[in-house]
Amino acid sequence: PAALAMLGYFERELGPDFFAGRKVLEVGCGTGVVGLGLAFLGATVTLTDMEDVLEYTEANVARNFAAAAAPVELLPLEWGVDAVPERTFDLVVGSDVCYGGPEKLGALAAVLRAARAPTVYIAYELRSGGEEVSFFREMKQTFRMQNVLLDGDIAVFRFDRL
């Protein structure tokens, strides 16, 4: 649900033309819904996740890539293990990535800080545990944070590098 909310936000607030020619890094891509959606809008997308997850992502890309308007690349990126791609991106996106405890969320924050991009969008389903508080605290050290969408229990945050 968070991926679709994020794509809906992008379509309404930024418009489809915004993504044409942009370089986007998606972290924790899973099936690649957000990244593929942005590729259809003309973004050059790098989808990242753990290597075993990328098998499923690759199958989804193979089924849907022919209709995409721009290239899609898949790279393994396990937070806290693999290095962030050493290239510049226009933005980083992540959907349903704010879970897994403080260690995993700290590794995610480190990946987002290391990524060469001025802007990060994170969408997630609000949960009662509040484990994402430490993630937001870490992100505020490097980024200005803004809640850009709250739709029921789905939130989308925009982070702009300080």
Selection from 83, 2, 4 nearest residue 36 by Cα: 4
What was the pLDDT predicted at 132? 87
Asked if pLDDT for residue 64 goes beyond 80, the answer is: no
Mean pLDDT of 149-154: 95
Tokens linked to 135: 């993630």
Asked if pLDDT for residue 41 goes beyond 80, the answer is: yes
Q: Across the strands, what pairs with 159?
A: 120, 145
Q: Are 120 and 91 contacting, i.e. CB atoms less than 8 angstroms apart?
A: yes
**pTM metric for this prediction:** 0.95
Instruction: For the chain, report the end-to-end CA distance as a whole number of angstroms.
Output: 30
Q: How far apart are CA 100 and CA 120, in angstroms?
A: 20
Edge to edge, the sheet with strand 23-27 lists 72-76, 44-49, 23-27, 91-95, 119-125, 154-161, 143-151
What was the pLDDT predicted at 88? 96
Q: How far apart are CA 74 and CA 62, in angstroms?
A: 11
What was the pLDDT predicted at 101? 87
Q: How far apart are CA 133 and CA 125, in angstroms?
A: 13
